[in-house]
Amino acid sequence: MIKQILLIGAGGFIGSVARYFVSRLNLHIDLFSIPVGTLVVNVAGSFLIGFLVGISEKSTLLTADLRMLLMVGLCGGFTTFSTFAGENLALMQNGQVMAVLLYTALSIILGFTAVYIGFVSSNLL
């Protein structure tokens, strides 16, 4: 258990630091006011977790420890969006299309609602 926690923590550290540096693209690139760094992080993280899932399913190249380090730690630290995308991929592979649609819709709607309520709540202080 301790080994897995350390692997996830190490991967998370690397992923979080990488996210910080990539998100700095926001300071240098202006594309219709879109936060380009965050977009790059989300798309790259989603690609990476999809690639790692594919490798895991096709070979024994990624051990359980390496999956913890890379998928849970690195991708999780880099972007939680990659985890969201990976979970949706798993649901799709299981033929649960309605679950994908519901999970995606709820994540977007509840996420935006929560950020708005959090913002409004901060004004009450």
Looking at per-residue pLDDT, the higher value among 36 and 104 belongs to: 104
Residue of 76, 71, 65 lying closest to 16 (CA atoms): 76
Structure tokens that stand for 30 in this block: 């202006």
Domains of the chain, residue spans: 2-79
pLDDT of 70 strictly over 70:
yes
Strand-pairing partners, residue 34, are 31
This prediction's pTM: 0.77
pLDDT of 52 strictly over 70:
yes
Looking at per-residue pLDDT, the higher value among 75 and 122 belongs to: 75
Query: How sure is the predictor about 125, in pLDDT bands with cuts at 50, 70 and 90?
Result: low
Indicate if the alpha-carbon torsion angle 60, 100, 16, 25 is positive or negative: positive
